Chain A
Amino acid sequence: MSSVSQTFMKFFRGSSGPETIPAQGSQKLTRRSSGLGELARSWETAEGLCVLDLGSTSPTNIRHFTERGHRIYSEDLLTASTDPELPTTDEQGNAVLDSRKFLADNLVYPAAHFDVVLCWNLPDYLDESLVKPVVGRLWSVLKPGGMLLAFFHTRDAGPDSPCHRFHIVGPDTLEMQKIELRREARRGPTGAVHTAITDGFQLQRVFNNRHIETLFRDFASIKFFLARDNIREVLVVR
């Protein structure tokens, strides 16, 4: 594994960004994605790739990959992180989510199984206690040379940036659909599970470049794409 100092980093300015073309339905926007464009070259030329989509179940993405003869796995980790069995406390008494239990129930795949992982904006919205364990697991399930695409908000995006689902609608084009609501389940003091409909997922933090490099330090290379919409796209190679 290469250290971060050995990583191959590039910055592209103004090559990605949203277009103000409303897609079908008022909640959808399309945006160009340079990271997706680079990643797409792998699945347009290779055969039988194994792809893991960690966003909300997207019929569009499933169709996109199956039409090209690839196998796609769908696993909505943000929704899985609302499991009422997960909240616990750490040694200091802080409220955290149980990462061991989370990884016992999710991302359970053989080592070096995937060619591509579509992480989307998961790290920005996932509970702090799960981020590093999840990235560690993703490293192990990616094949050497496999690629992972993730999006990170910049500070300018603001704390109320909505969480989106991402649908692949072109070689370098995504349709973004705002997640308005989510079902949240919490276990009460009597042990009963209470469910409630709450607003969509909240931005948990803003990673800067150094944080992102640290997060992916076990990977062989990392490449940044800066977009006009306060999103940093990151393409990581194991």
Chain B
Amino acid sequence: MSAPSSAPASGLAQIGKSVFIKGELSGSEDLYLDGQVEGSIALKGNSLTVGPNGQVKASVEAKGVVVQGKLEGNVQASDRVELRKSAVVTGDISTQRISIEEGAYLKGKVDIHRTDIK
């Protein structure tokens, strides 16, 4: 699988920086989030990108998660998590693969679960 992009691609579902959502957010396509969300985000087979202006206070369940902004809540990614240098994450991360850029801030646990190849 290719890594989720950090820039909003055309055709990608986007939540702009002036948007505030409170509640459950779920979907079946990749999402670029540069606004504020409080609650929960479930994109089980897809990827979430939290843009540089994004402020998320939510539990996140997705295939891939890229964070450039702020995220407070537990992250469960079935594939991979990327914390970019401007990321500020408070919460536990459970994923198969993780990359963290120098300068990213993380307060929480990193748990790597590996899928055995049979």
Instruction: Give residues in A with beta carbon < 8 Å to B.
Output: 57, 59, 62, 65-66, 69, 71-76, 79-80
Q: Which residues of A contact B102 (CB under 8 A)?
A: 59
| Chain B interface category by residue count | 10 to 19
Bound Cα distance from A46 to B111, whole angstroms: 16
- Establish whether residues B98 and A74, one from each chain, have CB atoms under 8 Å apart when the complex forms: no
The 8 A-B residue pairs with the shortest CB-CB distance, nearest first, are A59-B100, A66-B112, A57-B106, A73-B109, A74-B106, A72-B110, A71-B111, A75-B107
- Contact residues of B: prevailing secondary structure: strand
Bound Cα distance from A74 to B105, whole angstroms: 9
Q: Which residues of A contact B111 (CB under 8 A)?
A: 71
Bound Cα distance from A62 to B109, whole angstroms: 10
Q: Which of B31-86 contact A (CB under 8 A)?
A: none
Residue of A nearest to B99 (CB): A59
Query: Which listed residue, B101, B107, B109, B110, touches A76 by the CB 8 Å rule?
Result: B107
Q: Is B15 part of the binding interface, using a Cβ–Cβ cutoff of 8 Å?
A: no
A-B contact count (CB 8 A): 36
Q: Output the least CB separation between A59 and chain B (Å).
A: 4
- Contact residues of A: prevailing secondary structure: mixed
Residue of B nearest to A50 (CB): B109
What are 17 inter-chain pairs, A to B, with CB distance below 8 A? A59-B100, A59-B101, A59-B102, A59-B104, A62-B100, A62-B106, A62-B110, A66-B112, A71-B109, A71-B110, A72-B109, A72-B110, A73-B108, A73-B109, A73-B110, A75-B107, A79-B105
Bound Cα distance from A186 to B104, whole angstroms: 23
- Establish whether residues A57 and B109, one from each chain, have CB atoms under 8 Å apart when the complex forms: no
Bound Cα distance from A53 to B98, whole angstroms: 17
